[in-house]
Amino acid sequence: MLDVKEAARRASEYFAGLYSDQKIPNVQLEEVEISEDGKHWFITLSYPVAPELAALNFNYKRKYKVFKIDAENGQVVSMKIRKVE
């Protein structure tokens, strides 16, 4: 079974691979959770809405993605938008 660090690494690598052409800076780990049955990790990552402002250290909003990761084999099962208010 994957531990939480490995699940977070898998989510980060998946995100980086999908958005490799955009080179999004300041991707952050926000939340981790294991499902009640222990079969999936839910990993939330955030990234700046306007990466060019993040690089200049301006205040900026962030977007959030939740990754569902199979806790047994580490495969990313889904990636969804997470709304934060």
DSSP state letters, 16-80: HHHTTTT-----EEEEEEE-TTSSEEEEEEEEESSHHHHHTT----EEEEEEEEETTT--EEEEE
What pLDDT is attached to residue 51? 58
pTM of the model: 0.86
Q: Which residues pair with 53 in a beta bridge?
A: none
Mean pLDDT of the residues in the chain? 90
Residue pLDDT, tens place only, 26-65: 899 999 999 999 999 999 999 988 756 555 666 678 899 9
- For residue 82, what is the DSSP state? E
Q: Which residues pair with 48 in a beta bridge?
A: 62
What pLDDT is attached to residue 33? 97
Check if the beta carbon of residue 77 is closer than 8 Å to that of residue 52: no
The pLDDT of 67-85, averaged and rounded, is 94
- Per-residue pLDDT at 8 exceeds 80: yes
